[in-house]
Each structure stands twice: as C-alpha cells, then as structure tokens.
Amino acid sequence: MSPPPSLVTVIGIGADGWDGLGPAGREALRAADVVLGGHRQLDLLPPECPAERVPWPSPLRPAVPRLFAAHAGRRVAVLASGDPMFFGIGRTLAEELGAGRLRVLPHPSSISLACARLGWPVEDTEVISLVGRPTVSLTRALHARRRLLVLSAGAATPAEVAALLCDRGFGPSRMRVLEQLGGGRERHLEGTADHWHHALGDALNVIAVDCAPAPGTPRLSAVPGLPDQAYEHDGQLTKRHVRAATLAALAPAPGELLWDVGGGSGSIAVEWMRTHRACAAVSVERDPVRATRIGRNAAALGVPGLRVVTGAAPGALADLPAPDAVFIGGGLTAPGLLEACWAALPTGGRLVANTVTLESEALLAQWYRRHGGELVRIAIAHAAPVGGFTGWRQAMPVTQWAAAKPAEGETSP
C-alpha cells in the first residue's frame, strides 16, 4: 500500500520578500527539498534556503500533475504572489492536487495593500484581473462613481487601461498606479485616463480607477435591457424590452451556462454574461458575418469570453457542454431543434423560445400543451409622431414559451 501524498506548503510572498515572511513561511522554505515558483518569487529567497529552485513552466496548468509527480516523496514548497487563493496559483493547485494536500500560508494581497494606501474599503472595491485576460474585460465594470482595482498583466497595462477608458467614454476617470506594493521600491503614479502620459513603469503594479464618464457617454445598466444602440446589428436583434423580459424568463444565476441558439447579434448571450462574471454562454449562429459581429458586440460590452459557434442548429449543438438554460431566438421550425435543446437540459433547466411567425407560434403552442410552462405574448408600442400629434406605433408582437424541465415522471407546472 503506497503512502499518502505529502502536503504541499503554499507560501504567499510580497515585494518585501524574505523580510515580510512570518516564522511559519520561513521555516517551511528552509525545510523544503524543492521550491516551485515564478522567477521573480524564487529570486527573493536568500542563500539560507538550500532547496532546489524550480521555475514554473509555460503553459503552467497542464504541467502541474507531471511536475508534482516528478518530485513525489520530497518536501515541496510553492511560492506565490501575495494571497495564493486570490487570483493566484492556490486555486490551480487545489483543483489539480486537491485542497486536502495543501497547507496555505497567505501574505497580504496586493488588493489589501492597495486599499490600505488609498483608504478604500476592500468590500466596496471591485477587483478585475487582466492577467491572461483581454483589456476589454474591464468594460462591464465601468459605471459612474465606481472604484475599481485592476490586477495588471505588466508594465504596459496602465496605458492600455487608459486607452480603453477613453474609448468607452470614461476619459475623465482618475487613475493611480501603485508599483512594487510593500517593497522598498514602492512608487505611485497618478493622472486621468485622457491625460495619461507616464512612461512604462514597473511590471509589478496595481491600477486604481475612480470611474468618471465624460458628458454624453451612454449609460449602460447593470441589469438586462441595454439600449438597442449599444449593439452593432443588421436588424437581427432582440429588441430592448423583449430582451429584458426574455432574460427574466431565462433567470441567470452565477456559474450557469446558456446556449443562445440563433444568436443574431448576440444580445441575449451578452446580457446573460453581464449579469455575473461567473455566467458563461455559447452563441450559435449559422451566418459567418453575424457570428463575427457577435464577437465584436461581446468585446465591446465587456464579455469577451462569450464563445461563438458558427454553424446551423441542431447539428452545431452536438459537442457543446450541457447548458443550464437555452434560448432559441431563430430557426424554431428546423427539424429536431426543439427536441435537441430540450434533451440537452438537465432537470430544472430552462428553455425560452421567442417567435413572431404564425408557423413557429403553432409549434410553441404544441410544446406548451405537451410540457406546460408559460406561453405569453409580448406586445410593445412606442410613441411616435402622427402628423402634428403623437400616437402609438405597434411593434410586431412576440410569442414566448418558457418552461423548466421536470424530473423523470413529473410534469411541468
């Protein structure tokens, strides 16, 4: 019977290096046979740590099981920046090795240190990491008077953030770049995004942003129902008020996955993902031009992680991960589409389908009789000029069927 795997000690270290470590962290590093970490962290260790120093390979995650197997039976310590469990290596190790194998000794995170310098309450400050993520990920967090801390990917990130803020209409936002927090070379830079002319600084930095929109910048709500003008489209767009009602029926929750079938402009998938950063979506669109446009809309509205699949449903759905909810915005009469989407849902999963045609409406009525749920008609009218007066202009009514999949043997309410 083989012995149980040994514990791995994960030690947070800051820019203050060895001097900032507590007794437990120092003792673990002195006793280790091998220390894993980034080049910068390993360079902070003094000669009194005799362990073999192994820098992380790239790409890191696929190498973790092999790397730890190669050092089986040895006392292993891992160095991480700040708090290993806050956007750090600790998460990867817990998922790959199991949390039970880890002994984590955190150091104050760069976020805690930045808030201490700025006088910002940590609980009221939104944190966005741009490490390994596109700069446009910041977009969905841009709201007037919000305070943001951005984990930088390197020395070029502050200028990239300033350019994004200007592009999104937030040029007046105050920016402060805090370099080498907690170390002897700590330095702060300050300015506004529209006048950010600082030269490249230290790669180890955090960016503080006091969000301030320029006059006339469109206000994008945190809830579904963004203005139609927020999207690039060719007319294939679920309009604002119907979109808000559709998202309410889909009922997104953190960590859930949506299939947006017949994506059009991607508005349903985009606003599903904007409800929470843990929400994910796949938009399926058969037209390559529209599929490319969906990607642009996702980037422009701060959810670049939206996956776009170019292909016709139901065939294009075959290899997708199982959804928690499905929206069908087009192609309802395609043979087997409703059946494939319903079959893919787990118990409790939601399906919402919208249509404006009589043929698709008749199909939804059949599914309503068979599976229950809610069948509603959404009619929207807008005030418009009628000569010298004002009257109502009716948009095409939308028929919507929404249902949750019951457990085997049960019936939908």
Mean pLDDT, residues 290-301: 97
Average pLDDT, the chain: 94
Q: Rounded CA gap, 393 and 322, in Å?
A: 41
- Model confidence band, residue 412 (pLDDT cutoffs 50, 70, 90): low
Q: Rounded CA gap, 56 and 34, in Å?
A: 12
> Is the pLDDT confidence value at 3 over 80?
no
- pLDDT tens column, 207-251: 999 999 999 999 999 999 999 999 999 988 999 999 999 999 999
Share above pLDDT 90 across residues of the chain, in percent, rounded to a whole number:
93
382 CB neighbour count, 10 Å cutoff: 11
Confidence at residue 398, expressed as pLDDT on a 0 to 100 scale: 96
Beta bridge partners of 284: 261, 309
Burial (0-12, 13-18, 19+ Cβ within 10 Å), 263:
buried
Mean pLDDT, residues 289-317: 96
pTM of this structure:
0.90
- Model confidence band, residue 407 (pLDDT cutoffs 50, 70, 90): confident
Q: Determine contact, residues 45/55, Cβ cutoff 8 Å.
A: no
